[in-house]
Chains A and B, each alone.
Chain A
Amino acid sequence: MYIHAITSLIAPVLTPLSLLEKKYCWGERNHKIFSRFHKMQSASLFADETLPDLLSDLLQKLRAECDPGLFRQIRYVAWAHSLHATSPFDRMEELSTVFQTFFGDQEIEFFSATQASCASGLVSLKYLQAKMRAAQQNTLSEKNGSENCGSENQASVCGVLITGEKCFHRTVQYVDQNGYFGEAFCATLVGMTPSPHSLHLRALHLQQLGAYGTRMRETDRESENAYDHAFLPVMTETIQKTLAGAGRKPEELSAVLPYHISPVTFDRLADRSGFSRDIVFRHNLYTLGHCFCSDAFLNIKSLLACGDNAVRARCILALASGVAGTFGAMVLESDNEDIP
């Protein structure tokens, strides 16, 4: 699968840490940890815009930025969210209609992928990959003359992954000692055939610490300690399996894209996994906040847009982690010789 393009929506003016402290009243200890230990500076927050406003703005921006040919091929839309429900219950059907109307296709398939917390974005990519491979396979079967109920010519279909949520309540504003959330949205356009400047998804691996599926509700100190101890080994294993799937070694990586919480974690992962701390891409790490499922996609976009050719990477590892025990990693590679 290929990532063709990423449209992002980030607050035009970032909210500085001093204002976040006043807004959230997170206490002196948290403030010291966030500012001095984690070196966090600001967050992307849209103070006045509602979630439907932001979704609409993102879609308009996608239309403006997207190659018209690829835009017409969009058949699948998945919204990955961390919260179990981002829209009022009676708005659910409306949400599907929003996408159908916007893409001008009454039969567009839309659903949300949830419950892998902030790793739901990578879970959705895995769905889109399987979906589009199946569409490709259907086309091949059709060409070979075999019977295939309901198949249609879908060789060049595209999918869109939507990510991003609102920090509307204490539950989704900050995590003691670890960091705070941010509001930034992405529409990631994916397809099965390469396009100029597309990134090839070489490997995507997800694994779970299933025992912690309900830790947000039922937990204790012993269980939390066990989770903390398990975190680095399991994420390291996830990275190793992903690299193995891509046929790459840690030293071949040119950039590692973190998610925006507990920045020191990525130095520890670098040391354990065998890649240099210097290749951890820190462009958004201290400035946007943890934008739920969007972090990986915001960072891909920033990395590719970066003026420094040394930073514009050829082999990228992006990470995601879900609070209820989901660990995800993917390796992306630039196949385009025209990218320096």
Chain B
Amino acid sequence: MSLEFSASNILWHEFEKNNNPSATVESEQLDKVKSFVNAFFQSHSRTCEAQLQPVSRWVNSQNLTFTTMLKKLVTQLEEQALVNDLDLVVLTHWTPDAEIGASVTNAIIYETGSHNAFGIAISDHGLSSGFVALQIIEDYLEDISGDKRPRKALLMMADQDAILYDSPYLANFHPAASCCLLLLQSNATHEPHKVAGNITFKNYQKTSLPVSTADIYPLLSTLKMFSAAENALPLIILTSKSFSQVLQRDANFSGVRIETWDDALLSSAPWVLLKKLAQKNTRFLLMMPEGKNMIFASFVMES
């Protein structure tokens, strides 16, 4: 089975930064959220106290929930593609939503009218959740494609720029509330229906983090991210700003085109860059270090 998408069916949006606590939030509402944060910390044996500023900023961001953000893109997508026949709707995110207890996947299934779609949200997988989501989509569509007809999936990424408490780690990214979606189609055969301009997902891999920079290049050759025939195509590596600097210091990568995504766009960042760089007869390798792992996703856009 092959999984493919058109660059024109990658849609994204960056929302205005929300750095100001709202002056209109009632103190009763703030107290409720603070009590939630304190109890949450306590359930993790953390002694920190909820701070007014992040709580207030988070309450303010509730006007911009994942559902609200993604509905905007779904409306845009509906203008260019049929989306009432989706088989699968997947949400991935790094930061938590500004809404507790919601089902974004259910809301989007309803919005698109794809009432028989299966919905799953992937959390706690870091910034690379969109990478693993592609593998999940491929596995799921293959699992249900007994009748061999093409299947459709919607992959959505969304992140908030505000969470319930201060996080220096998140602040380092200078995050923007942003979202992105990809409309994907599967074909049951191993030989993809060649649609001009479509990008084909090739492989997802997760490895241990190489011990040194010098180990990265040899690692790539062991991963089989592309077939032998595809290896003849020019390669573009897409990665984060800090990791692109690591790669550029290694002479092995001197002949390889390395492009850097905008870290502020969090989970959406790789896809925004892929849309921008999409060109025929090219291999794309998305890679990022995550915790103690390296995560890879590969794509090919053939003529």
Contact = CB atoms under 8 A, between A and B. Distances in A.
Interface of A: 50-53, 79, 81-85, 87-93, 95-97, 100, 106-107, 109-117, 123, 126-127, 129-131, 133-134, 137, 146-147, 149-150, 166, 168-171, 206-214, 216-217, 322-326
**Overall SS of chain A's interface:** mixed
12 contacts: A51-B43, A83-B100, A84-B102, A85-B96, A96-B291, A109-B206, A117-B101, A150-B205, A150-B225, A171-B100, A210-B115, A217-B101
A146 B227 CA distance: 12
B217 interface: no
Contact of B104 (A88, A115, A133, A323): A115
Contacts of B105: 115-116, 208, 213
Interface of B: 35-36, 39-46, 62, 65, 67, 91, 95-97, 99-111, 115-116, 118-126, 129, 132, 136, 138-140, 142-143, 163, 165, 167, 169-170, 190, 202-208, 223-227, 290-293
Given A106-B293, A168-B39, A214 B99 contact: yes
Contacts of B292: 96-97, 100, 106
B43 A166 contact: yes
Closest 3 CB pairs of A and B: A210-B110, A213-B107, A216-B101
Given A106-B293, A326-B103, A111 B122 contact: yes
Contact of A169 (B36, B62, B123, B206): B36
A169 B39 contact: yes
A324 B106 contact: yes
**Overall SS of chain B's interface:** mixed
B43 A127 contact: no
Nearest to B229: A147
Contact of B40 (A168, A213, A216): A168
Contact of B110 (A52, A146, A211, A216): A211
A158 B225 CA distance: 24
A325 B103 contact: yes
Contacts of A217: 62, 65, 99, 101-102
Contacts of A207: 116
A306 to B, nearest CB: 32
B163 A216 contact: no
Given A107-B206, A134-B139, A171-B36, A326 B122 contact: no
B223 A84 contact: no
Nearest to B116: A207
B143 A216 contact: no
Contacts of A150: 203-205, 223-225
